[in-house]
Structure 1
């Protein structure tokens, strides 16, 4: 069987939007939020409001409407939450793609599929409202996850409901409801959900990295931002 990352790369031929309101490829700027970014040392990462200001200034300086990045990125910003920073977890490697944009922007499905599951993962530092779609292309099934939505995004969907490519599936949540983050979409491509519903790890331990990178390839192989 074809390698999953190569399969994902071959699904789309060019930029494929996952946020609406007319965003084009040239509207995005890549942002580095890794532990190697010295700018983050000056920032109070525990404050979602301070982080929102940081993102806004970044976009202004780059003359961009949205920022993207974060796949396979070692981050220190998760140290603020016991969800990631404890003796059992110690998770700090991000394996989704983050898209930083204003709250309440429309979130779109990049592909045809159906609603698999949804949940409000409401712990501090978690995804907040989360939606998972199931897709089948050329007989191969896989999933896409959308985290940090508004709670209103979970009021309409029904499990098994079909979704068209480009269809609005939710809105980007603000920090009051998205797990306490500056507004952004966590987008993840997953081959095997391993029995999970409405949730799937998006930040993992170094010891688990190889397995997760195979199961969750770079989402930008699909979106091509």
Structure 2
């Protein structure tokens, strides 16, 4: 499956506004090990200031990264940290693309609506859409989290979508799980019966399974110098 995903495209595939060129993307780390994160990581407002300043200082429009990154940001939410340390979910399974609220979100490939849901736990995805794809007779899924509430209007399971088609808009912190605006983009091989939701963060205990079931989204996005 890894090779099949890698072979789908030799060029970068877009999941946000195509009018933003790849030259305006920059890697970012929000890992626990990043000593620049001196602000209150529990505050979505302070995160937004940090992200916006980072983009402005580097003359970029999108900051991206985070696959298999260990993060402290989830410690603020009982949804993630109510378990023992061994089972604590703090390893990120997708790539985040940090940019402005209301940025257009695009289907990474042709597919259909698998499911959608507003995941309203604090620190969760908020409005989420999952697409089903088939390539080289292999079925897999792409998840788009932290969307606007209106993005879920007028959707139906089974609706066909085309690569590059606008499927949603990014939400702000009032609806997206209380984060600075960004897209959580994740690939999934087996949905395990989930609808409109799938774990986007793993514990160290379950990481081997999730690394296999959620391959690196950069196999499709092909973003340079991913953190």
2:106 aligned residue (105, 108, 123): 108
Distance of 1:157 and 1:20 partners within structure 2: 20
Aligned-pair Cα RMSD in Å: 0.9
TM-superposition CA deviations, 1:4-34 (whole Å, max 9, x none): 2222111111111110150111110000111
Per-residue deviation, 1:139: 1.1
Equivalent in the alignment of 1:52: 48
Instruction: Give the secondary structure class of the aligned counterpart of 1:16.
Output: coil
Which residue does the alignment assign to 1:72?
68
Structure 2 CA distance, aligned partners of 1:98 and 1:157?
Answer: 24
Structure 2 equivalent of residue 35 of structure 1? 32
User: Which residue, 11, 23, 26 being the options, matches 1:26?
Assistant: 23
CA contact (8 A) 1:128 1:179 kept: yes
Please, which moves more after superposition, 193-202 or 86-95? 86-95
Distance across 1 between alignment mates of 2:213 and 2:171: 27
Q: Is 157-166 or 18-27 further displaced after alignment?
A: 18-27
Q: Distance in 2 between matches of 1:218 and 1:135?
A: 16
**C-alpha contact 1:102 1:183 (8 A) present in aligned 2:** yes
Q: Give the match's secondary structure for 1:84.
A: helix
Structure 2: tracts of 5 or more residues without a match: none
Cα contact 1:21–1:105 (8 A) shared by 2? no
C-alpha contact (below 8 Å) 1:69/1:98 kept by paired residues = yes
Q: Per-residue deviation at 1:220?
A: 0.9
Task: Provide the aligned length of Structure 1 versus Structure 2.
Answer: 221
After TM superposition, the structure 1 stretch with the greater mean CA deviation from structure 2, 19-28 or 161-170, is 19-28
Alignment TM-score, normalising by the size of structure 1: 0.96
- Deviating above 3 A after TM superposition, structure 1's stretches of 4 or more consecutive aligned residues are none
SS at match of 2:11: coil
Kept in 2: contact 1:5–1:214 (CA 8 A): no
**How far, CA to CA, are the matches of 1:94 and 1:174 in structure 2?**
20
Q: TM-score, length-normalised on structure 2?
A: 0.95
User: Quick one: which of 163, 178, 181 aligns to 2:179?
Assistant: 181
Does the 8 A contact of 1:17 with 1:23 survive in 2? Answer: no
SS in 1 for 2:184: strand
Deviations 1:158-183 (A, max 9, x none): 10000001100000000000000000
